[in-house]
C-alpha cells in the first residue's frame, strides 16, 4: 500500500485511475482546482484536495506533496490559451517536480504524450505547439531531476472501454482508451524496477499491460 498524490485529480484519466489504486489498497489524494468537483472525486474513493497548482509556489507545493510515497502528474490546462498552457503544463509541472525533490518524495510519474520529443514536428504556428513545447520542457526537467521518474507517452486518447492491452512505441497516432492509460499508470507504480528512468510511449495493442512493462526490464 502506498500514499499517492495525483495532480489533475478530476481529469478523465485520473477519475479512472483513482478507483484502480484505491481498490488495491493505496491511499489516494486527488488535487483539484474546482471545489464543485469534490463529490465526483470522493465517489472514486480518493480524497479530494482543492488547490490551484497554477498559482502555488514551491513552498506551498512542497507542503502539499510531503508525506506521500509517489506523485502522478495528470494535470493540464486543456489547451486554448497558450499562456495558461505554459503556466500549467510546463511551469507548475516543473515546480511540482522540484517540490517532490524538496519533500524527498522520490517516485514521480508524468503523463505526457506519445510525440513529446525534440523532433515532435508540431509547427510553431499550430495551436497545438504551446502544449507540445510545454510538455517537452517538463519532461526534460523531470529526466534531469534526480527523482525516480517515469514518463508515460500515450497516443491519441479515446473514450472506448479498457482492453488491458497496449503496444509499445506505436506507429501513427497510437490511439488508446483513457481507461488503458489509467491502467498503465497503475501498473507503472506497481513495477518500479521496470519503469523507473524510462520514457514509455504506447498505444492500443495486443500485449497485456503488465507484460509489456515487465519486458522493459529485460
Measured between alpha carbons, how far is 183 from 176 in angstroms, rounded to an integer?
11
Model confidence at 218, pLDDT cuts 50, 70, 90, reads low
CATH code at position 182: 3.40.50.720
In this prediction the pTM is: 0.96
Res 121 pLDDT > 80: no
Q: Is 89 helix (H, G, I), strand (E, B) or coil?
A: helix
**Secondary structure element (H or E) that encloses residue 30, with its range:** strand 27-32
In this structure, the chain runs to a length of 218
* Residues 6 or more apart whose Cβ sits within 8 Å of residue 52: 33
Residue 89 burial (C-beta neighbours within 10 Å; 0-12, 13-18, 19+):
buried
Nearest 10 degrees: CA dihedral of 22, 91, 63, 149? 50
The pLDDT assigned to 79 comes to: 73
Q: Which domain holds residue 179?
A: 3-217
How many domains in the chain? 1
Helix (H) or strand (E) holding 168, with range, is strand 165-168
- What would the pLDDT profile of 12-59 be if each residue is shown by its tens digit? 999 999 999 999 999 999 999 999 999 999 999 999 999 999 999 999
Residue 119 — pLDDT band, cuts 50, 70, 90?
Answer: confident
pLDDT digits (tens, 9 = 90+) for 167-209: 999 988 899 999 999 999 999 999 999 999 999 999 999 999 9
Please give the pLDDT value at position 70: 98
Name the pLDDT band for 127 (thresholds 50, 70, 90).
Answer: confident
Count of Cβ atoms closer than 10 Å to residue 54 Cβ: 14
Segment holding 199, helix H or strand E: strand 198-204
Are 40 and 84 in contact by the 8 Å Cβ rule? The answer is no
Give the β-pairing of 70-73 and 107-111.
parallel
What mean pLDDT value characterizes the chain? 95
Intra-chain end-to-end CA distance of the chain, in Å: 26
Distance CA 198, CA 57 (A): 28
State mean pLDDT over 116-120: 86
In 3D, which of 109, 115, 75, 116 has the Cα closest to residue 184?
109
- Under a CB-based contact definition with an 8 Å cutoff, are residues 199 and 179 in contact? no
Amino acid at each position: 500500500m502506498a500514499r499517492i498524490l495525483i495532480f489533475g485529480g478530476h481529469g478523465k484519466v485520473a477519475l479512472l485511475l483513482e478507483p484502480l489504486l484505491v481498490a488495491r489498497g493505496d491511499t489516494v489524494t486527488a488535487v483539484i482546482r474546482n471545489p464543485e468537483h469534490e463529490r465526483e472525486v470522493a465517489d472514486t474513493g480518493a480524497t479530494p484536495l482543492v488547490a490551484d497548482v497554477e498559482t502555488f509556489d514551491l513552498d506551498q507545493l512542497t507542503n502539499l506533496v510531503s508525506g506521500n510515497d509517489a506523485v502522478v502528474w495528470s494535470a493540464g490546462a486543456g489547451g486554448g490559451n497558450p499562456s495558461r498552457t505554459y503556466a500549467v503544463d510546463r511551469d507548475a509541472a516543473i515546480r511540482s517536480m522540484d517540490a517532490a525533490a524538496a519533500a524527498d518524495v522520490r517516485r514521480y510519474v508524468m503523463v505526457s504524450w506519445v510525440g513529446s520529443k525534440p523532433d515532435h514536428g508540431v509547427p510553431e504556428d499550430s495551436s497545438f505547439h504551446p502544449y507540445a513545447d510545454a510538455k517537452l520542457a517538463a519532461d526534460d526537467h523531470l529526466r534531469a531531476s534526480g527523482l525516480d521518474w517515469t514518463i508515460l507517452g500515450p497516443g491519441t486518447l479515446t473514450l472506448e472501454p479498457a482492453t488491458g492491452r497496449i503496444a509499445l512505441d506505436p506507429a501513427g497516432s497510437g490511439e488508446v482508451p483513457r481507461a488503458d492509460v489509467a491502467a498503465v499508470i497503475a501498473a507503472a507504480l506497481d513495477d518500479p524496477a521496470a519503469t523507473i528512468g524510462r520514457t514509455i510511449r504506447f498505444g492500443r495493442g495486443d500485449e497485456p499491460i503488465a507484460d509489456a512493462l515487465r519486458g522493459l526490464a529485460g
